[in-house]
Amino acid sequence: MARGEPIRVLHDGFVPGRFAIDAYGRGGFRFADMSHRGSILALPSGIHAWPVMSLTDVGVESFDKAVAERAAIDVLLLGTGPTPIPVDDAIRWILRDAGIGLEVMATGAAARTYNIMLGENRRVAAALMAVD
């Protein structure tokens, strides 16, 4: 480790801090000089492992952590895999009631959009399903 480089500690599938997504595919993501196999939830507090493999795994409770951080999130980008897939209205309503906008798109597009918005210091979060 280089002198002055921050130490990043992974706790139970959580990396504190805001990081761009460096790469995605092969069932995972690269960010913060590390890789993660599986889906992720990128929030203002950090990047969390997200136990979701397909839209059938997604329920209202899948967004509890995002809703808990609603004061710091204007929009949540939902990456649904290789193609955009409509989400259940209950999910849209729970986020809308929390004051969080929802944009659904393919995971690649969501990761790229997240990086752009993060670079603009926007109040963005992303729920990204892993793709092969």
| CA 42 from centroid of its chain's CA atoms | 3
Place of tokens 């801090």: 17
* Residue 55: predicted pLDDT: 85
Cβ neighbours of residue 61 closer than 8 Å, sequence gap 6 or more: none
* Residue 9: predicted pLDDT: 43
Q: What is the mean pLDDT of residues 124-128?
A: 98
User: pTM of the predicted model, to two decimals?
Assistant: 0.90
* Residue 12: predicted pLDDT: 62
Mean pLDDT of the chain: 91
Distance (Å, rounded) from C-alpha 11 to C-alpha 130? 20
Place of tokens 């995972």: 28
| CA 2 from centroid of its chain's CA atoms | 28
List domains and CATH numbers for the chain: 14-128 (3.40.1230.10)
φ/ψ (deg, to 5) at 126: -145, 135
